[in-house]
Each structure stands twice: as structure tokens, then as C-alpha cells.
Amino acid sequence: MTQKRNKLMVGVRDYLFIIIGLALYAFGFSAFILPQKVVMGGMAGLGSVVFFATQRIAEKGAFPWAIPVGVTMYVVNFILLVIAFKIVARTFVIRTLFGMTVLSVMIYLFQPMFSNLNILPDDHLLNLILGSCIMGIGIGTVFIHNGSSGGTDIVAAMVSKVSNVTIGRTMMMCDCVIVGSAYFVLGYSLGEIVYGLLVTVLTGYMCDLVINSDRQAVQFTIFSKKWEAIAKAVNVEANRGCTAFNGMGCYSHQEVKMLLVMCRRIEAVSIYRIIKSIDDDAFITQTNVNGVYGRGFDQIKVKKKKKRQQEKEMAMSGAAMPTPAPIATPQTAEVQITEAEEIKA
């Protein structure tokens, strides 16, 4: 019962942070990017192209109104999700449906609120940089908590399932196509296209910073005569494991115990406090660790090679395929017994 309750609380917390991250993304886009009339990558960029194009047509009286960005985002995302339903995992579909609905609604509500409000009226570039940073922080928060905003994520997930093209490369190609479409559909200049690419790259960079800062780990090496008390406190208070090693001081020629502790960067201060509260004379070293995988940290995500791919690689390398062991039948067993009797004779 307790385990189910904890799982429910983790799920509720994830969805709460996903909503906060999507709200940041919608605010950064609606308040800073859209008023500058810059077309970025992703579904927000595609919605911007449709909005600006229909706005020009509506001003000429050939169309009743400009289609809001949120409406275009939701319709296109929904169509992509229906196509991807049988290809990608059901959990991905559910989280993406939730994310794209919340994001589309928020952008739909924020767009009229910030359409006539220019927060930084005298600095075009600063608006783009600030908006990109806010969007990157928001979408990074969403990804940390296993969420998705839809858009090019859906296309990339489908392509990766049926081909060897990576998700990152597919998203980059889609973003470049969307940004480049502003040149043909809206008649944007090369400088305006570069601004769109700048927003796309900076948003992705900030997203990576947020994700990597959450995954960064540190390694502590602790030398102390009170190593048992420190190890117990780290296990109980910090909920982290310790490994004890035997060592010897080359100067004193005395045996010492060395503790090895792995933790997240944000937990480092707690580890220091635990050590200093027990042994103020403890010798401590801290190092940054790139990639910690296992229980309590990240999981290794490696796709297993399929049998056909293994056979193809072995054929290209010229290695012989391992022959399966022969299946014993009554006839073969009888022949083997006869041969054995002849050898004995």
C-alpha cells in the first residue's frame, strides 16, 4: 500500500512540474518570441507561420481571422499522434497528449495577453535571448520529469522506430524545414531566418543545461577514523550507499579505511554536513563524474542488436556464423553407440 502511494505521489509531482515547465515555455514564447515575429523550430514555429500568413490574408479581407498558434499546434500534434499511435509506446502517447493539450491551451490564452505588450521594446535581440532561455528552462523541466510537448518529438520517435536515423538528427531536420519555410511562405529575409535558427539553437542549449545539471554526479573519497559512523549516517540521512576500502598511509605506515560515495551534485552539501558533524578532521576529496549508471542514478539505454543486423555485420567482416549444435535423434544416438562399440572391439 505504501509503495503504491509513493508511486502515486511521484506521478503527481511529475505532472505538476510538467505543467510548470509548459507554462514557462508558453510564457517565453508568447511574451518574447512571437511579438518579435520570429519563426523558430518546432510546432510553435509552424503555428507562427500559419498565424502570420493567415493574418496577412485576413488584413486583405480574403480570410475571416488569423488562426491562433495554439490551434494550429493542437491540430497538427493530434494528427501526428494518431499516426504514431501504433508505432510508439502507449505511455509516450498518453504523456504527449497531456503535454500538447496543456501547452496549446496556454499559448492560446497567453497570445492575446502579450500580443500588444512589448516587454523590452528597444532591444530585438535581447527579447529573443531572454525568451529562448525561458523556453529552454521550461522544456528542460518537462523532459526531466518524463514529459513531452509533442511536435517534432512525435516525428522523431516515429522515424527512430522504422529507421536508423537518430532522434536528434530528425528533430534538427524538422526544425530547419520549419524555419526555412518562413523564407518561402512569409518572404522573410536571410537575417530573420538566422534569428529563428538562433532561437532554436539557444532553446535547445538551455534545455540541455537543465537536463545535464539534474544528472550531474560527484564522487567523494573520505579518509576518517570514524568511517563507520560516517557510512551509517550517509546511508540513513542522505539515502546514499558507501563502499569501504582498505588502505595504508605511506608516511605513517598505518592502515586506514577509505569511503567511496556517489551522489548528485545538489546532494553534495548534505554529504559535507554529515561528514563534518561526525569528524571535523576527516580528509575529503570531491571530483566531478561524467556518467553514473545503476540503481539510484541514470539507466543505461542501449538497444540490443537484432539477429539480422548481427548476421549482416558478421558477413561483412568475413567471420563464420556459429553452427547450431545437432539435435540428437534415436537414429543418430544408435549410430554413435555402434561406432563406440567398434572402437572398443
C-alpha cell at 104: 496549446
* Model pTM score: 0.69
Query: Distance from CA of residue 338 to its chain's centroid?
Result: 65
Conformation bin of residue 257: beta by default, left when phi > 0, alpha when psi is -120 to 50: beta
On the question of pLDDT at 173 being above 90, the answer is no
Is 225 within 8 Å of 277 (Cβ atoms)?
no
Express each pLDDT in 58-103 by its tens digit: 988 888 889 999 999 999 999 988 888 777 777 777 888 889 999 9
Express each pLDDT in 281-330 by its tens digit: 899 998 887 666 666 666 665 555 555 566 656 666 555 555 545 544 44
Mean pLDDT of 160-189: 83
Per-residue pLDDT band at 344 (split at 50, 70, 90): very low
Please state, in angstroms and rounded to a whole number, the distance separating the CA atoms of residues 131 and 198.
Answer: 11
pLDDT averaged over every residue in the chain: 81
Most confident residue range from 75-89, 107-121, 183-197, 291-305: 183-197
On the question of pLDDT at 210 being above 80, the answer is yes
Please state, in angstroms and rounded to a whole number, the distance separating the CA atoms of residues 239 and 241.
Answer: 7
What pLDDT score does 208 carry?
A: 83
Q: Where in the chain is the domain with CATH 3.30.70.120?
A: 216-289
What pLDDT score does 209 carry?
A: 84
On the question of pLDDT at 336 being above 50, the answer is no
Pick the CATH number of 216-289 from 3.30.70.120, 3.40.50.1100, 3.30.1180.20, 3.65.10.10: 3.30.70.120
What are the CA-CA distances from residue 141 to residues 18, 34, 279 (Å)? 7, 22, 37
Mean pLDDT of 119-138: 90
What pLDDT score does 316 carry?
A: 60
